[in-house]
Amino acid sequence: MLEIRDLSAAYGGPDVLSSVSLEVKAGETVAVLGANTAGKTTLLRAISGLIPRARGHIAFEGTALMGRPAHTIPALGIGHVPEGRHVFPRMTTLDNLMMGAFFHRGARDITQRIERVFALFPRLKERQGQMAGSMSGGEQQMVSIGRALMGQPKLLLLDEPSHGLAPIVVDELHAAIGAINRQGVSVLLVEQNAMLALSVAHRGYVLEAGHVVLAGTSRQLAADPGVKRAYLGV
């Protein structure tokens, strides 16, 4: 579904991604683990066309993404939930969700799409009239994921969804990511929380200083001594 080959990227200085190759097959949840500054956010931004200096090959369902304007990517079926959530703080939860359907304004099933998001996150239904900026961090994360789901993506890019959230909220997120995947959406999950990532993903990659240094099933990665030491605190 998503194929990345020899992807390198820079912001004007040295490469922050070097010859990264990875793939996500239809129906999979794939994790990318890595410490701060490993290049995880840059990887997702390159897929979404937000890194002008990226080089290499990215294809989504056979369509080449390199050089495509970022605003054309959601319509291909890729939803991006950015690091830091970036909800529209002075808009209600409902209006934030509606913004996710911006590129699908002609769609007649907007109400059904909203109901599907509310079924996944009942808290958003309860708080649909509340300004998103006054919601808790976990609720804002739900808004951000819900907004991306409004575009009915086939592939969801999730950037550190658990960042700064309490363990109980992380559990809720874990359940939601599983449910989204069971509904047929493939997921590329970037996380520093390796425990969360490996418990929800089928496979994963470890990114270090812009290089993929390890790849395997979640079980293999969780058993790897280096991963245990560096990411699982074992």
Residues forming contacts to ligand ATP in the complex (CB under 6 A) are: 11, 16, 34, 36-42, 83, 192
Shortest gap between Cβ of 11 and ligand ATP (angstroms)? 3
Helix, strand, coil shares of the chain, percent, nearest 5, are 40, 25, 35
Shortest gap between Cβ of 35 and ligand ATP (angstroms)? 7
Shortest gap between Cβ of 17 and ligand ATP (angstroms)? 8
Asked if residues 47 and 55 have their Cβ atoms less than 8 Å apart, the reply is no
Phi-psi sector, 176: left (phi>0), alpha (psi -120 to 50), beta: alpha
Cβ proximity to ligand ATP, 41 vs 181, nearer residue: 41
Asked if residues 141 and 120 have their Cβ atoms less than 8 Å apart, the reply is no
Shortest gap between Cβ of 83 and ligand ATP (angstroms)? 6
Cβ proximity to ligand ATP, 68 vs 163, nearer residue: 163
Cβ proximity to ligand ATP, 12 vs 184, nearer residue: 12
Shortest gap between Cβ of 56 and ligand ATP (angstroms)? 15
Cβ proximity to ligand ATP, 42 vs 141, nearer residue: 42
Shortest gap between Cβ of 8 and ligand ATP (angstroms)? 12
The residues near 208 (Cβ < 8 Å, ≥ 6 apart) are 34, 35, 38
Cβ proximity to ligand ATP, 139 vs 160, nearer residue: 160
Q: Which residue has the tokens 């989504």?
A: 60
Q: How far, in Å, CA of 151 to CA of 98, rounded?
A: 10
Cβ proximity to ligand ATP, 37 vs 183, nearer residue: 37
The strand ranges marked E within the chain are 2-10, 15-24, 29-33, 55-60, 63-64, 78-81, 155-159, 186-191, 203-208, 211-217
Residue type for position 28: E
